[in-house]
Amino acid sequence: MHHSQNQNSPVKQNSGQHKSGQHVAVIGAGITGVTTCYALLKRGYNVTVFDRNRYAAMQTSFANGGQLSASNAEVWTQASTILKGLKWMLRKDAPLLVNPSPSWHKYSWMAEFVGNIPQYKNNTVETTRLAVAAREHLYRWAADENIDFDHETRGILHFHTDKKGFDHASRVNKLLAEGGLERFAVTPDEMRAIEPNLVGDFYGGFYTPSDATGDIHKYTRGLAEACMKLGAQFHFDAKVTSVASDASGARVEFNAAGSANSETLSCDAMVICAGVGSRQFAAQLGDRVNIYPVKGYSITVALDDQSSKDAAPWVSLLDDDAKIVTSRLGHDRFRVAGTAEFNGVNMDIRDDRIQPLTQWVRRYFPGVNTDKVVPWAGLRPMMPNMMPRVGAGKQARVFYNTGHGHLGWTLSAATAELLGDAVLAGLPPKLTPGIAAGGARGVQPQPVLDQVG
């Protein structure tokens, strides 16, 4: 059945001009789906975005750490991560936690993660390059579309309480430099000059002036509005149940809220941007995209009184020992995020994970009032090699832009641009009457970054 717009269906639509006439479906309206939509619209495609939530950016792109952090591009595939993980398994408030209960997906993913340790250097350098490239697009799109997202461009300060962590970071600095990022070592005095509100004893730190922060949710919502004005259709409250594709076309089956019947959209291609849901769609399409949901938590501290506003930092921080990141979101919000928990698709907000974040604020910013703190949990869509999967799938007309793990906000604009180019290169031109199917053979699609394996 071809899709016909039903009156109850929450389609948000605006008219727009489409040059190519080709119609691409995007599954997922998080930061990756919405940036993908924008990049495709700019290349002349007609785009329809599906999300099971009522609005854009309601899942992992809701309340993350806020950092646009090329300086955090180091991938985690190192022997030391595994050792720390084992040590931390005994501590309830540890930054990395693994539920030891048996799960084939978890342990097979971890085995693959270990298998990627030899790629640690290359993947860190490549992620840095992508993160640096992303900035230009992300900022330009915000300016072009007039999106207010509490953007702060005061840099990111990593801090270390011991020599061991600082020395490791010095080695990482070389990889970041190879990827095109300048990050400077700073003394405790210099750290206090950069962020005078920071209280504590530090061994040293690293400062990246070109890094920034911003509210991922506000940005995604703003860009989704811009996409609608440019002619994209958004199907919210629409759960995609199955996807299929072959040489003749792509099909997306979905259930609109309040409707007992499923509907099908037939289109020219589809892009999977479904976060932790992408693995299941990939399986339907004959691809293996081994995303594991790595859970994290955040708190958003309301800076209601003037003394809290004055005591909270403006410079974004990364506590390398506790693996905690912070962002100042405008005058009245302070976001603190952390924890990597391996516990499947589980959205419970656990008090014993939230407490360490609040305690951290009390320790380093004692003047900030913590009586109004909004907790949140999200699932990072993580690949075992920590690299996003961007490019064509095995079947014709299938593309992926997903698996951005701990850096989806930072990398989104760069991967959306790569994906847009991959669709331009890989989608067969539209068949016009009189041209035989063989005459419409497109460029053979090639995965751009990660190989499906």
Ligand X SMILES: Cc1cc2nc3c(=O)[nH]c(=O)nc-3n(C[C@H](O)[C@H](O)[C@H](O)COP(=O)(O)OP(=O)(O)OC[C@H]3O[C@@H](n4cnc5c(N)ncnc54)[C@H](O)[C@@H]3O)c2cc1C
Closest contact distance (angstroms) between CB of 274 and ligand X is 4
- Draw the binding track, 274-313, toward ligand X (x: CB under 6 A; -: no contact): xx-x------------------xxx---------------
Task: Report whether 427 contacts 298 (CB < 8 A).
Answer: no
Of 11, 18, 42, 53, the residue at the interface with ligand X (CB under 6 A) is 53
Residues near 97 by beta carbon (within 8 Å), at least 6 away in sequence? 88, 89, 339, 340, 341, 342, 343, 353
Binding to ligand X (CB under 6 A): which residues in 338-397?
A: 378, 380-381
Of 9, 22, 48, 60, the residue at the interface with ligand X (CB under 6 A) is 60
Specify the stretch interacting with ligand X by CB under 6 A; choose among 65-73, 82-90, 143-151, 416-424.
65-73
Q: Can residue 155 be called a binding residue for ligand X (CB under 6 A)?
A: no
> Tokens 């479906």 sit at which residue?
25
Q: Can residue 408 be called a binding residue for ligand X (CB under 6 A)?
A: yes
Q: Can residue 240 be called a binding residue for ligand X (CB under 6 A)?
A: yes
Specify the stretch interacting with ligand X by CB under 6 A; choose among 91-99, 147-155, 197-205, 408-416.
408-416
Task: Report whether 269 contacts 24 (CB < 8 A).
Answer: yes
Task: Report whether 270 contacts 402 (CB < 8 A).
Answer: no
Specify the stretch interacting with ligand X by CB under 6 A; choose among 5-13, 61-69, 188-196, 431-439.
61-69
For ligand X, the closer of residues 215 and 268 by Cβ is 215
Of 325, 368, 383, 396, the residue at the interface with ligand X (CB under 6 A) is 325
Tell me the HSE value of 236 on the side-chain side, using a 13 A CA sphere.
15
Q: Can residue 428 be called a binding residue for ligand X (CB under 6 A)?
A: no
Which DSSP category does 263 fall into?
E
Residues near 58 by beta carbon (within 8 Å), at least 6 away in sequence? 51
Collapsing DSSP states into helix, strand and coil, what is residue 47?
strand
Collapsing DSSP states into helix, strand and coil, what is residue 414?
helix
Of 9, 22, 32, 395, the residue at the interface with ligand X (CB under 6 A) is 32
Q: Can residue 317 be called a binding residue for ligand X (CB under 6 A)?
A: no
**Distances from the Cα of 281 to the Cα of 91, 286, 287, 294, 329, angstroms:** 36, 9, 9, 18, 34
For ligand X, the closer of residues 63 and 428 by Cβ is 63
Closest contact distance (angstroms) between CB of 409 and ligand X is 3
Closest contact distance (angstroms) between CB of 430 and ligand X is 26
Of 3, 51, 75, 395, the residue at the interface with ligand X (CB under 6 A) is 51
Q: Can residue 33 be called a binding residue for ligand X (CB under 6 A)?
A: yes
**Would you say how long the chain is, in residues?**
453
For ligand X, the closer of residues 77 and 402 by Cβ is 402
Closest contact distance (angstroms) between CB of 162 and ligand X is 23
- Residue 405, φ and ψ in degrees, nearest 5: 55, -130
Q: Which residues partner with 113 through β-bridges?
A: none
| CA–CA separation, 68 and 156 (whole Å) | 9
Task: Report whether 232 contacts 41 (CB < 8 A).
Answer: yes
One-letter amino acid at 348 equals: D
Tokens of 450: 């990660």
Q: Can residue 28 be called a binding residue for ligand X (CB under 6 A)?
A: yes
For residue 403, count CB atoms less than 10 angstroms from its CB and return exposed for 0-12, middle for 13-18, buried for 19 or more.
Answer: buried
Q: Can residue 65 be called a binding residue for ligand X (CB under 6 A)?
A: yes
Closest contact distance (angstroms) between CB of 114 and ligand X is 22
Q: Can residue 67 be called a binding residue for ligand X (CB under 6 A)?
A: yes
Closest contact distance (angstroms) between CB of 443 and ligand X is 26
The secondary element (H helix, E strand) that includes residue 362 is: helix 351-364
Residues near 265 by beta carbon (within 8 Å), at least 6 away in sequence? 2, 3, 25, 48, 251, 252, 254
Number of residues that bind ligand X (CB under 6 A): 41
Of 24, 25, 26, 31, the residue at the interface with ligand X (CB under 6 A) is 31
Return residues touching ligand X (CB under 6 A): 28-33, 50-53, 58-61, 64-67, 69, 239-240, 273-275, 277, 296-298, 325, 337, 378, 380-381, 402, 404-410
